[in-house]
Structure 1
Amino acid sequence: MRFSLSPEQRAFAAALDDLLTASDVPAAHRAWAGGDTDPGIALWKRLAKLGVTALAVPPEHGGLGGSPLDLAVAFERLGYHAVPGPWVETVALAPILLRATADAHLLPEIADGATRVTFALPPTVPYAVDCDVTAHAYLVDDAHLVDDAHLVDDAHLDDRVDSVAGRALLRGQPGEALRSVDPARRLHVLTGGTPIAGLSEDTVRAGLDRAALAAAAILVGAGERLLAESVQYVGARRQFGRAVGEYQAVKHALADVRVGLDFARPLLHGAALELAADTTGAAGVGVATAARDVSAAKVLASTAALRAARTALQVHGAIGYTLECDLSIWILGVRALVGAWGTPADHRARVLRSLTSQPSQAGA
């Protein structure tokens, strides 16, 4: 596999950095957490002009048809700058779950940055985020599919011998609001509404894998930002006549963060390349391998980002505990995202199932 980014991908990442560095994203993030979404929506529109919202939308729906690796590149920069909003749901998940439904007409609007959507997919994703800034909130619920995409309940399942197990896509109704450890993630319970379509388990799995990949990329980006902030701080902060960063214990702690992130990123990129391969496996692998690699990437990205958050808090000292310090934006964001789109335990279990289900090699 080729893990080096293309010149176009590097230029895209640099363009995103330039825009976001000049946009005072921490202020927009704080406003979003406080209920003022106007700065965040303005930022959404500016990122749409760079093509972020169109990345995963197919060309026939007005999008760029980008690869999962393109998506990972963009979401790492979103994580580095702590951009608020339902980015995973709208940009990574919606193009997969909506493209074969009656709501596929929303995809051109998503690509243009004019529409945002959110999803709940219990039990993996029990709550929807940011319902107040989205045009539609969807609930993916347990149901049964039939050949004409109508939904039937368990009581009538035996009447249709051609039914296959699947999920129902419903237009959800936001209910109870819940607090997240990250104030910028406004959570809502969704109740089922109008059925829109049936989704196969393969489609739901593909959507969850793409969302988990995007979440892993955000975590890697957030970890990088926490490390950068920590290195800058310990270089400037002096104690006992020396920069804090000169002490060996601090150097080793930051080096461990660097190693963790450097291990997580290749796994993230490798998972993106596997997702891009078709089911026959361009590299001789199939869907099961791609799913395993996404889970492995999410686990390692979570571990690396948590280490970065813990170390940043330690080296910053008491100021790192305050919400007034921008560091809290990334620390709380990491803490919330680690459990989103599948917990580390969920993803570890999937990696284990993949490994134990493989046939043993003769002579191994």
Structure 2
Amino acid sequence: MRFELTTDQRDFAASLDALLSAADTVAAARSWAAGDHAPGLALWERLAEQGLTMLATEATPVELCVAFEALGRHAVPGPWVEAAAYLPVALGREVEGVATVAAPGTTTALDADVAAEVYAADGSALRSATAGAVEASVDRARHLVEVTPGDPVEAGGDLAAAYDLAVLATAAQLLGAGERVLADAVTYVKQRKQFGREIGSYQAIKHKLADIRIALDFARPLVYGAALDPTPRSVSAAKVACADAAYLASRTGLQVHGAIGYTQEFDLSVWITKIRALVTAWGTPAAHRARILDSLVGSA
């Protein structure tokens, strides 16, 4: 089976990429990390006007993946998975403004300090929640806030389907972030010279970058295959593959950049720390591997 985006989907991806490329998303992410949410909220409004908050209820999971891949590629800050993937399906309606939720099995909600609506999900019910103390995250632009669950809210949606869509959106974000790190690494190795040669001309580095390309290319069909048929097994497989591929990209990207890659001032750090945080967001790789195994054993 060969899957290709439709013309409308490709145009949607191109328009998002153009908007985000002109928006200085790195500056917005750095401001968000420092507690200045104004640039990020302005970008949130622009993306909402493009329909990103309506995709979960008004479009297919394919369009949602297209959007979240772009969000990952440009390191857009904010609780997008929570507000644009999970909550619309869980509540059965589009969410107005910034909203967030503590995922099942967790006690923290992403960016609850700036969200107008805060919820907590325990797998069987969706509850209103009160924000508390902010915890540190490896990604400085991800503010994890302790929440106290309250009373159940009327949720006309499907919590299980909402969880799977959030997992799929996170996988697409990882795919986009991995693609960005690879692109930046390829650009850098063509510029950086050592012993009179571009370091990208050395086979050892070519092989490392080729391994990333292969991993991302193998992960992409799993994402869009899961978008066409979002079963628990398919979305977990997509999350595992994208987490592994993006993490490989971050490690190799850091290595080929050398000492400069370790600095917070260098833009590469924005994607490296985001990838590390997203790897365990909405389920760890171990949890999703166990979920895949359970589905296979159960169907045997």
What is the TM-score with the length of structure 2 in the denominator? 0.97
Residues 209-358 of structure 1: matches in 2 within 5 Å?
209-275=164-230, 290-358=231-299
Does the 8 A contact of 1:220 with 1:301 survive in 2? yes
Give 1:141 deviation, angstroms. 3.2
Counterpart-to-counterpart distance in 2, 1:329 and 1:241: 30
Counterpart-to-counterpart distance in 2, 1:30 and 1:116: 19
Does the 8 A contact of 1:75 with 1:214 survive in 2? yes
Counterpart-to-counterpart distance in 2, 1:49 and 1:121: 26
Partner of 1:162: none
Deviations 1:317-354 (A, max 9, x none): 00000000000000000000000100000000011111
Partner of 1:115: 97
Partner of 1:130: 111
SS of alignment partner, residue 54 of structure 2 = coil
Change (3 A) 1:120 1:199: farther
The structure number with the bigger radius of gyration is: 1
Deviations 1:132-153 (A, max 9, x none): 22111001237xxxxxxxxxxx
**What amino acid maps onto 1:190 in structure 2?**
V
Partner of 1:42: 42
Match of 2:83 among 83, 86, 90: 90
Counterpart-to-counterpart distance in 2, 1:187 and 1:221: 22
Counterpart-to-counterpart distance in 2, 1:329 and 1:266: 26
Does the 8 A contact of 1:168 with 1:199 survive in 2? no
Match of 2:127 among 146, 159, 170: 170
Does the 8 A contact of 1:32 with 1:84 survive in 2? yes
Does the 8 A contact of 1:169 with 1:199 survive in 2? no
Does the 8 A contact of 2:31 with 2:37 survive in 1? yes
Find runs of 4+ consecutive structure 1 residues off by over 4 angstroms: none
Aligned length: 300
The structure carrying a bigger helix percent of its residues is 2
Where does the alignment leave 5 or more consecutive residues of structure 1 unmatched?
58-64, 143-166, 276-289, 360-364
| Same amino acid, percent of matched pairs | 55
Give 1:55 deviation, angstroms. 1.1
Partner of 1:60: none
Partner of 2:72: 79
Partner of 2:138: 181
Deviations 1:163-189 (A, max 9, x none): xxxx23221011221111101110111
SS of alignment partner, residue 54 of structure 1 = helix
**What amino acid maps onto 1:327 in structure 2?**
L
Partner of 2:148: 191
Counterpart-to-counterpart distance in 1, 2:31 and 2:127: 31
Counterpart-to-counterpart distance in 2, 1:303 and 1:126: 25
Does the 8 A contact of 1:118 with 1:131 survive in 2? yes
**What amino acid maps onto 1:335 in structure 2?**
R
Partner of 1:283: none
Does the 8 A contact of 2:91 with 2:154 survive in 1? no
Give 1:2 deviation, angstroms. 4.5
Where does the alignment leave 5 or more consecutive residues of structure 2 unmatched?
none
Partner of 1:8: 8
